Amino acid sequence: MADVGLASELAEIGVMLLMFDVGLHFSLDDLLAVRRAIGWLIVEDLVMVLVLVMLPLLGQLLDGGQHPAAAESATSNLWIALSLTLGKVLAFVAFMLLVGRRVLPRILWLVSRTGSRELFTLCVISAAVGVAYVSTALFSVSFALGAFFAGRVMRESELSHRAAEESLPLQRLGFLIAAANKS
For residues 156 and 37, which has the higher predicted lDDT (pLDDT)? Answer: 156
pLDDT > 90 in the chain, percent: 7
129: pLDDT strictly greater than 80: yes
State the average pLDDT over residues 154-170: 76
pLDDT of residue 95: 92
Where does the pLDDT of residue 114 fall: very low under 50, low under 70, confident under 90, or very high at 90 and above?
A: very high
Q: Which residues contact 87 (CB under 8 A, 6 or more apart)?
A: none
96-111 as b/e: b if 16+ CB within 10 A: beeebbeebbebbeeb
Tell me the average pLDDT of the chain.
Answer: 76
Q: Which residues contact 78 (CB under 8 A, 6 or more apart)?
A: 54, 57, 58, 61
Cα-based distances in Å from 65 to 79, 95, 151: 21, 43, 46
Question: Distance between terminal CA atoms of the chain?
Answer: 17
pLDDT digits (tens, 9 = 90+) for 53-95: 566 656 655 665 555 555 566 666 667 777 887 888 889 989 9
Question: Where in the chain are the domains?
Answer: 2-182
Cα-based distances in Å from 182 to 32, 169, 179: 32, 20, 5
